[in-house]
Structure 1
């Protein structure tokens, strides 16, 4: 069994997920890096190893239960435990209600909502046996507000907020801590496609999201934070 804490990061190959994984390596976590692109994961794996941490790169589809269960089995075989799950994998298809096809609707919800459910369920099964664990869901400001032209994405992230609340309630008896981070516009490829009007110097950086994750992981056992809403300074408040 690993003497370090062990974290699984989904959607780790690029964007926010890649930065979160590297931050966890700097915090001395051993890592399971997952995404659908193995080539990009392998370069990240090498970066984590250069930081002195062990890293396992596994190709996995979060929306496929068999794929997720296989990934968890390999992770447990390699490390013997899982301390942290970061549900980061996400898909953005941005259209209005009238312009959203049923196929696109189902694709977005399958990755953004069903995926975190499948991963969290697998994590719960292990963490409750150890009576310890943390799950961090990377949600979105779209899970707290409504955005025209983002029908499926907004619905999926609102669903993830609801799932996070249930997980937090059910996890308490097993000492499983559940948090949701809800960033607004983050400088990623996804945002560049959905909001080309936003300027780079106005955007949240992936490192800002990593700062929020690090804050949550450093909380003392006596307290918890359910939701962190990280917004651009120039964006609207509630």
Structure 2
């Protein structure tokens, strides 16, 4: 590192502050609520065209007009990330509708909070299929388009559950530890094709995913999903010569990590 290098001039700093995602297409899973919805809002506000997807299409269609009011194109797709055929079709539909696919954000997730003796095989497979197999399949098909385009960015939304463990969440931990490993493996493999891959280790957020299942949680101890969306936006706006392979975003009162 050259410690004698001159600081960035005002014009360069202003250019970075004014950076946008205009002209880029972002494919977001789990966009009907929580972090996914926040991401669609933040990235549309940054000029990106949005492919908003979820297993529940009705909330997507209800939210789409507000995203379009930000001056971008929006396409919605209802599909299950755990279904390999549906994944393949969704990526193809997104590319056909938008003409390009620059950024994939694997945000969709699920959990079954049960002790292992009560966790059925179906429960286990549902969590693994949604949280790990789905991101693999989406990355596989999206990366093929990104290689053709010469660049791209894949963001995998992990969790503090990928760093430690607590009781009654075996499937969730296995899926998120696996997702973190997958993300780093893709980072190592795809950077040769000018595709950046980032794992975002997100701490607790004020989203239905947590609050609907654990009403005893104090919302004040969680973070606004918009804050995590803003952190992801900053990753996407990094110069192409730089990749952030992993980023941890925690509420100030986080107790699950470290």
TM-score (norm 1): 0.95
Give the 3-state SS of the residue equivalent to 1:128 in structure 2.
helix
Q: CA RMSD in A?
A: 1.4
Q: Which position in structure 1 is the counterpart of 2:47?
A: 28
Does residue 1:138 correspond to 2:157, yes or no?
yes
Does residue 1:48 correspond to 2:82, yes or no?
no
The alpha carbon displacement at 1:200 in A equals: 1.1
Does residue 1:170 correspond to 2:185, yes or no?
no
Give the 3-state SS of the residue equivalent to 1:186 in structure 2.
coil
Aligned length: 236
> Which residues of 2 match residues 201-220 of structure 1 at below 5 A?
201-220=220-239
The alpha carbon displacement at 1:113 in A equals: 0.4
For residues 121-178 of structure 1, what are the alpha-carbon distances to aligned partners after superposition, in whole Å with 9 as ceiling and x for unaligned? 0111101111100000111110111122211111100000011011101111110000
Q: Which position in structure 2 is the counterpart of 1:122?
A: 141
1: CA distance, partners of 2:97 / 2:256:
45
> Which residues of 2 match residues 76-155 of structure 1 at below 5 A?
76-155=95-174
Check the 8 A contact 1:15/1:189 in 2, yes or no.
yes
2: CA distance, partners of 1:147 / 1:164:
22
Name which of structure 1's ranges 113-122 and 219-228 shifts more when overlaid on structure 2: 219-228
- Mark the runs of 5 or more structure 1 residues left unpaired by the alignment: none
TM-score (norm 2): 0.87
Q: Which position in structure 2 is the counterpart of 1:19?
A: 38
Check the 8 A contact 2:158/2:202 in 1, yes or no.
yes
Q: Which position in structure 2 is the counterpart of 1:63?
A: 82
For residues 55-83 of structure 1, what are the alpha-carbon distances to aligned partners after superposition, in whole Å with 9 as ceiling and x for unaligned? 00111111111111111111111221101
Q: Kindly name which structure, 1 or 2, has the bigger radius of gyration based on alpha carbons.
A: 2
